[in-house]
Amino acid sequence: MSEERLQKILSTAGIASRRKAEQMIVDGRVSVNGTMVTELGSKADLEHDHIKVDGKLLRQPKHMTYIALNKPRDVVTTLSDPEGRTTVVEYLRGMKERVYPVGRLDYHSEGLLLLTNDGDFANRVTAARTHVEKYYVVKSNGPLTDEQMEEFRDGVPLQGRRTAPAKIKLIKTGASPWYEVRLIEGRQNQIRMMFRYFGCLVEKLRRVKIGFLALDQKPGEWRHLTPREVERFKKLLKMEGPPAAGDDA
């Protein structure tokens, strides 16, 4: 492996996003071969250099692992929780490799969640520029008008920045209708905030598909992606090099 920017190494290893990795470097939490590194743009080679984060040695994963989990409601999409709530990793009993969530599903939402130790894969799946659609079914406490749905598709201003173009269609009418929503970005609580923008509250939210991969497990169940699924994702994400081997469940 050739030298790479330190923040990219940390991001690819699943330690943090590149932006957070940069902050960790600036804060003096990263050392290379015993020397603290605080300058952004510094490079290292994970195969040959001893890189430590908060005093812990960073190692390359022996095997790239790709997991699909049906996250239940009232579970946090993190590796640990200071409030003591149930986390997604508590459902991965029997998993030998350390994996981390690809993006987020908020505490009250459920559905398809990917987990991996492949940082490049995770970054590409979550990046809006790769245009990987995430499909959701959403129950609202009231209907949107045709004009509101059109505005939803064009993007709405949230926290000073307009959302990327989205897709929405009504799939079940009623006082509390159901919608299918497709996004290519995934800001925290984005769908809930978009409905709130139009004066509606989301009662239920479930992610049912990421790209081509549809949810096919019961809540709390997980499985390895097949080698074919990993290969399809890497083609979709335009990742360089041969596809990494997946694990057959």
pTM of the model: 0.78
pLDDT above 70 coverage of the chain, percent: 94
Residue 204 sits in a domain whose CATH number is 3.30.70.1560
Q: How many CB atoms lie within 10 A of CB 216?
A: 11
Binned at pLDDT 50, 70 and 90, residue 1 comes out as: low
Residue 124 sits in a domain whose CATH number is 3.30.70.580
Least confident of 5-9, 95-99, 174-178: 95-99
Please tell me whether residues 197 and 223 are part of one structural domain.
Answer: no
Alpha-helix runs per DSSP H in the chain: 6-12, 18-26, 119-126, 146-154, 190-197, 227-236
Please tell me whether residues 137 and 200 are part of one structural domain.
Answer: yes
Q: Is position 106 annotated as part of the catalytic site?
A: yes
Residue 19 sits in a domain whose CATH number is 3.10.290.10
- pLDDT at residue 49 greater than cutoff 60: yes
pLDDT of residue 59: 75
Please tell me whether residues 193 and 219 are part of one structural domain.
Answer: no
Task: Dump pLDDT digits (tens) for 160-179.
Answer: 999 999 999 999 999 999 99
Count of domains forming the chain: 3
139 located within any domain = yes
245 located within any domain = no
What DSSP string describes 140-181? ESSPPPHHHHHHHHH--EETTEEPPP-EEEEEE-SSS-EEEE
Among 219, 11, 44, CA closest to 120: 11
Please tell me whether residues 200 and 149 are part of one structural domain.
Answer: yes
User: In angstroms, rounded to a whole number, what is the distance separating the alpha carbons of residues 41 and 63?
Assistant: 28
Please tell me whether residues 27 and 95 are part of one structural domain.
Answer: no
List 49, 81, 106, 120, catalytic entry: 106
**Which residues form the domain of 191?**
133-210
Question: Do 248 and 230 touch, CB atoms closer than 8 A?
Answer: no
